[in-house]
Amino acid sequence: MDKLLISGGRPLSGEVRISGAKNAALPILAATLLTQAPVVLENVPELRDIATMLKLLSQLGVRYRFGANTLEIEASKPESVLAPYELVRTMRASILVLGPLLARCGEAIVSLPGGCAIGARPVDLHLKGLKALGADIRVEAGYIHARAKRLKGCRLVLDQVTVTGTENLMMAAVLAQGKTVIENAAREPEVTDLAEFLVKLGAKISGIGSDVLEIEGVDGLDSGPVHHVILPDRIETGTYLTAAAITQGCIRTTHTRPELLDAVLDKLKEAGAAIIHGPDWIELSQTSRPRAVSFHTAPYPGFPTDMQAQLMALNCIAEGVGIITETIFENRFMHALELRRMGADITLEGHTAICRGVAKLEGAPVCASDLRASASLVLAALAAEGETVIDRIYHIDRGYERIEAKLAKLGATVQRIRE
């Protein structure tokens, strides 16, 4: 398993180009199952999770060519409706093929995702919604078997805000008979990007960007070739800006969208950063020790759970005490235990982490437990004195494109140790 070796303690500076958003690309890739039209997607990040989704789609009969962040993809004739355990267990987002397969082929057999490091992460709301749309759903021997000649539009009120749940149900509803209304829908920008892509395919969706999506089902989504540019990754943007804050450096992120990061930028400003931005760039400079910040995670436009670990790393070396409450996932503090090994003073009390800033972190061998936890360890390592070796770095390759190259360009001393 690859490791990252980081020698910390120097301010980062320079410009970094932000990649396309993993969490927008994944559902959009799954959505290509809904049409036989050729699709060209640009700004697709080259990540492990994208490779996994492409592997799954090719097993379903989808043809593609991928290079230089451009994906030409065509699902002219799906050949299978099976998403096997071997792939789903490596990436939970495989569940995103459930809605499109069911809508296009009338059947889907998808391995039930298990829990993961950050929580139990059930998919009951996906299944409840599909049942309400008229699907016959059975779970047998670890697989979801879903069937419906044609789904029928209805009103769905989601018990809880769910990102991939909203995406799955929206993708299923676009080919249903009649109108579907999804209330308490997730408003994450990645859901909006998917909706905009579906509209390009010929779907009829209104309320895009709000928590009530109205979908008028159509008979087919084959209006012709479609071109779409994947939304920039707001979490990657926030992670690099936090790298500037934690190292007291100055970084400009380009090819991004400042308006998608309000909650994160507010916290970074509260920590003492000076932030300026243009329409597609954000620059952060930090000239003194950051101040600790307190927040709770919440669905968009609240503070994203996917940035919680990174801001915790910032709090570790900040002045004062920061209190972080995680409200989305029940076990998303694994990084705290590793940060402590680098000298951080963090107390965990249920869903709350109390961080008392220390003057310096010290490099140490640490182990990544999930994608954003790895990002927080990278940030801590960049600020720490001495060398940090981060094990299980495959987690970071799932969601950060060419991270060592990007960090090295910003002046970090970072090296991948291949094993």
**Residue ranges binding ligand EPU (CB under 6 A):** 23, 26, 93, 119, 121-126, 160, 162-165, 190, 305-306, 328-329, 371-372, 399
Based on CB atoms, which residue is closest to ligand EPU, 113 or 258?
113
Q: Which pairs count as long-range contacts for 235-238, CB under 8 Å and 24+ apart, including other chains?
A: 235/21, 235/23, 235/304, 235/306, 235/307, 235/372, 235/399, 236/18, 236/19, 236/21, 236/399, 236/400, 236/401, 237/18, 237/261, 237/282, 238/264, 238/304, 238/307, 238/310
| 29 secondary structure, DSSP code | H
Is 116 annotated as catalytic? yes
Cβ-based nearer residue to ligand EPU, 47 or 148 = 47
- 395/392 Cα distance (integer angstroms): 6
* Length reported for the chain: 419
Q: What is the closest distance, in whole angstroms, from the C-beta atom of residue 22 to ligand EPU in the complex?
A: 6
How near is the Cβ of 369 to ligand EPU at its closest, in Å?
Answer: 12
Among residues 116, 154, 355, 367, which one is catalytic?
A: 116
Burial of 83 (0-12, 13-18, 19+ CB in 10 A): buried
Exposure string of 245-270, with b = 16+ CB inside 10 Å and e = fewer, is bbbbbbbbbeebbbebbebbbebbee
What is the nearest approach in angstroms of ligand EPU to the Cβ of residue 111? 15
Least separation in angstroms between residue 277's CB and ligand EPU is 23
Q: Which is nearer to ligand EPU, 22 or 104 (CB)?
A: 22
Is 187 or 252 the residue whose CB approaches ligand EPU more closely? 187
CB of 14 to ligand EPU, least distance (A): 25
> Is the Cβ of residue 306 or residue 404 nearer to ligand EPU in the bound state?
306
Q: H/E element holding 340? A: helix 334-341
Angle, helix 234-246 to helix 371-383, in steps of 10 degrees: 20
Known catalytic residues? 116
